[in-house]
Amino acid sequence: MNDKVLWVTGASSGIGAAVAKKFAKEGWKVAISARRIELLNVIAEDDNIYSYPLDVTNAIQLKETFNKIVNDLGKVDLCILSSGTYERKSEKEIDTNNIKNVIEVNFLGVINSVAAVESYFKNKKNGHIAIVSSPVGYRGLPKSSGYTPSKAALNNFTQGIYFDFIKFNVRVSLICPGFIKTALTDKNEFKMPFLKSPEYAADKIYDGLVRKKSFEIIFPIQIAIIYKIFQILPNKIYNYLISKFVNR
């Protein structure tokens, strides 16, 4: 019988909710957190899922909630940190207040979450932290003055803490989904290539974290290939391609 325990932030909808349901279906006990209590309670109608509302921008609340989860469920084996925000319309021009809000949730919210679990995992000398970022964090994109840099910071942060945690036998993984149909992507006014469902994302995440034990999980394969090429392209070529095809 599976006795594993998962904590998911950003779990009220989208990828976070789908991941919670996937792991619960596989026999894990799953603690879910987000700000929207009503949505969490609906998801927690599953016998293996437990609701713990919080705001990731509140570091004190995060620590208290994580401690309560450990006390209630006995332990935590894996954290999937997937809280995030994005409002494309507010990023068409540089809006400092919007950028601050995006950085606060997408980047600092994750840092708060990692800080809340750091001592627990390091003292236990076992565990796994997985951070949901985005392929857009690999290179800059137009009309994304807050979102892209928040994900770039997250990608680098995740890579950096990998070295800090592995010394304590604690795994760290970076999850970079392509376009997934969620409430956030529904706001996009452009055609999203290789659009996939949250359930597809949850399957890929479960496979990458549990079966393959990967550091980097990027999907679908088409997006993985495109962004790996983007990473190695000289600036002159990358800038030309993006200007021609993305910023039209």
Q: How does pLDDT run across 88-100, given as a tens digit for each residue?
A: 666 778 889 989 9
User: What residue numbers bound the domain in which 159 lies?
Assistant: 5-245
The per-residue pLDDT for range 173-198, each reduced to its tens digit, is: 999 999 888 766 656 666 777 889 99
Cβ–Cβ under 8 Å, residues 209 and 128: yes
Question: What's the whole-number average pLDDT of the chain?
Answer: 92
Tokens standing for residue 204: 């890929």
The predicted pLDDT at position 181 comes to 85
Of residues 198, 176, 185, the one with CA closest to residue 21: 198
The predicted pLDDT at position 71 comes to 98
Contacts of 58 (CB under 8 A, 6+ apart): 112
| CB atoms near residue 31 (< 10 Å) | 26
Weakest mean pLDDT among 108-112, 119-123, 182-186, 206-210: 182-186
The per-residue pLDDT for range 225-243, each reduced to its tens digit, is: 999 999 999 999 999 999 8
Torsion sign (Cα): 2, 23, 59, 157: positive
CA distance 217 to 224: 9
How many domains would you assign to the chain?
1
Weakest mean pLDDT among 1-5, 57-61, 179-183, 188-192: 188-192
Please report, for the domain that includes residue 84, its CATH number: 3.40.50.720
The predicted pLDDT at position 207 comes to 97
The predicted pLDDT at position 187 comes to 64
Choose between 193 and 65: higher pLDDT: 65
The predicted pLDDT at position 141 comes to 85
